[in-house]
Structure 1
């Protein structure tokens, strides 16, 4: 992978472990020569991951909507910054540029981006690896909910293979580097005459 899009919070979270893991991920991306693709902000973990990549000599490509630029949230040190008209355009541009995706801890926006990109993988819109950096068990409640959706028949069990989970940046990047897209026909089987 030459580029990875990182989804993460515009806040730092309540504990230093989140920032520490974000710095580790930024350094790992730079060390591996992987360009960071991210939401272009300088605040929270978004700013931290970009700063860490840049400090380690790596490249960062930001995509930010114009309304965030107007609120002075734009990271001024980005290697390259694309200003777009909307959040929808932002997500599409990041997905196009990236060869993989990692979700760090974050809030509603992070989950929105994560689940959209998982859904796109499920629908075969892309065949790129997706990783969750499970910092200090942050994603355990979410993973339990996903397993519950499987148990209740709303998600196919094989779709659990649409993403990787790792506790450290190194472990997650290693898992993503060997990931193979699951073979799955996401379309529901056609109704038979007896069902319809």
Structure 2
């Protein structure tokens, strides 16, 4: 993978383990020459991963809606900055630039981005790997909810299996690099095993 989008919080969280995860992922990207595409912010988890990659002269591309640019959260150190009109447009631009998705801890915006990527995969609009770095069990409750959705008939196991879960950077990246998207054989998205 040449470029990966990382969805993550504009906050840093209360536990330093989350920032450490962002820094570890940034170091991995820089060492493996993987370009970062992210939300363009200078604060929180976004700032931590961008700063880490920039310190190693790695590739960073920010995509930020103009409303956030005006709020002065734009990372001035990122040379490749795309300013767009809306949050929706931001996600479309990001998806065109990348080979995979990774989600770190974050809030509503981060979860929105994760679930939109999963929906694109479920509908076979994209077939890119989608991973979460489940540091400190941050995503455990969401994973339980996904299993409940399967048990109640609202989600197929095949679609649940699209979500790649890693508890360390190396674990996650190994799984993402080995990912094979499900195949379909007709217009109604019947999965071929």
TM over 0.5: yes
Counterpart of 1:40 in 2: which secondary structure? coil
For 2:38, the equivalent position in structure 1 comes to 38
Describe how 1:1-196 pairs up with structure 2 within 5 A. Answer: 1-184=1-184, 187=188
Counterpart of 2:161 in 1: which secondary structure? helix
Counterpart of 2:116 in 1: which secondary structure? helix
Which ranges of structure 1 fall in alignment gaps of 5 or more residues?
A: 190-196
> How far 1:117 sits from its partner (Å)?
0.5
In angstroms, what is the RMSD of aligned CA positions?
1.4
| TM-score, normalised via structure 1 length | 0.93
How many angstroms apart in 1 are the aligned matches of 2:79 and 2:70? Answer: 20
How many angstroms apart in 1 are the aligned matches of 2:149 and 2:187? Answer: 16
How many angstroms apart in 2 are the aligned matches of 1:32 and 1:144? Answer: 33
> How far 1:162 sits from its partner (Å)?
1.1
How many angstroms apart in 1 are the aligned matches of 2:52 and 2:168? Answer: 16
> How far 1:186 sits from its partner (Å)?
8.4
How many angstroms apart in 2 are the aligned matches of 1:17 and 1:187? Answer: 43
Structure 1 pair 188/81, CA: closer, same or farther in 2 (3 Å)?
closer
| TM-score, normalised via structure 2 length | 0.94
> How far 1:183 sits from its partner (Å)?
2.8
Per-residue deviation, residues 44-77 of structure 1 (Å, max 9, x unmatched):
1011110011112211000001111111110011
